Amino acid sequence: MDREARRVNDFHQRVAARFSAAAETYDAHSEVQRHAARTLAGLIAATGLPPRPRVLEIGCGTGHLTGCLTLYLPGAHILATDIAPAMVATCRAGLPGLDYAVMDGSRPSVAGPFDLICASLAAQWFVDLPATLARLAALLTPGGTLALSLLGAQTFREWRAAHACCGLTPGTPVFPTPTQCDAAFPTDGQLLMRTEVYVDRPASGLAFLRGLRALGADMPATGHVRLSPAELRRVMQTLDEAPEISYELLYACWRAGEKPESRLK
């Protein structure tokens, strides 16, 4: 295994460990994730899938999107997967009767074809988004759908601005812009995209950080040097006592084998 492969593998292992550790606390802090899952499920329901579609879900977590799929797609054969074993176990306990697997969604190890492959707020953790989307698209039936929600570049902009005011660099990962997300999909299909800004209002900057930790989503960008306690206090003081934290949500539905088209809404 070369250096780059080891780096990617190490990153994925850390993602799996953090989300597994957060399986018990995730649901109490995941309103943004619930909102994105419900919205994505509505978009999926409008795509015109065949009866009893075969569905692969990447990054099922505790089951926010999984549960919506069972309601919106009655009779579907659903295989729900996640890189974190504890998340798979939690989802299975809440939604028995489906098929489950522990799997790194960026390197799928299941056999297709699927009528629908979907992931809600998981794709931002893929190290190489274009390569991953190409692998997933290869598992679709002709005319199959790849549907994602993921965090966009304007996510946590208030947090980053507070760091900039203090002359500091935040540890938040770099998320794709809508244009970058658009370009990551294969060109031999039709892509429909929309964007949304969801504003969360945590009680404080500290509550925001604790919420990310409870979600397992507090892993810093690669190479980030952790702030000292004094630096972190300066950032907190720069935020309002009851800050607004923005999430840029990108929703993308790509259909294989259709005339290439892209629309941002």
HEC secondary structure over the chain: CCHHHHHHHHHHHHHHHHHHHCCCCCHHHCHHHHHHHHHHHHHHHCCCCCCCCEEEEECCCCCHHHHHHHHHCCCCEEEEEECCHHHHHHHHHHCCCCEEEECCCCCCCCCCCEEEEEEECCHHHCCCHHHHHHHHHCCEEEEEEEEEEEECCCCCHHHHHHHHHCCCCCCCCCCCCHHHHHHHCCCCEEEEEEEEEEEECCCCHHHHHHHHHHHCCCCCCCCCCCCCHHHHHHHHHHCCCCCCEEEEEEEEEEEECCCCEEECC
Q: What is the pLDDT of residue 55?
A: 98
Domains of the chain, each with CATH number or no CATH: 3-263 (3.40.50.150)
Query: Is residue 151's pLDDT more than 50?
Result: yes
pLDDT in tens, 68-80: 999 999 999 999 9
pLDDT in tens, 9-33: 787 788 888 888 998 999 999 999 9
Q: What is the pLDDT of residue 24?
A: 93
Query: Is residue 118's pLDDT more than 60?
Result: yes
pLDDT in tens, 222-247: 777 888 989 999 998 898 777 999 99
d(CA 190, CA 192) in angstroms, rounded, equals: 7
pLDDT in tens, 195-204: 999 999 998 8
Query: Is residue 6's pLDDT more than 80?
Result: no
Please report, rounded to a whole number, the percentage of residues in the chain having pLDDT higher than 70: 96
Cα torsion 170, 176, 178, 184 to 10°: value is 180
Q: What is the pLDDT of residue 9?
A: 78
Q: What is the pLDDT of residue 265?
A: 46
Higher pLDDT, 119 or 5: 119
Q: Are 84 and 104 in contact (CB under 8 A)?
A: no
Higher pLDDT, 157 or 265: 157
Q: What is the pLDDT of residue 261?
A: 47
Q: What is the pLDDT of residue 264?
A: 47
Query: Is residue 117's pLDDT more than 70?
Result: yes
Please, which pLDDT band fits residue 217 given cuts at 50, 70 and 90?
Answer: confident
Q: What is the pLDDT of residue 1?
A: 57
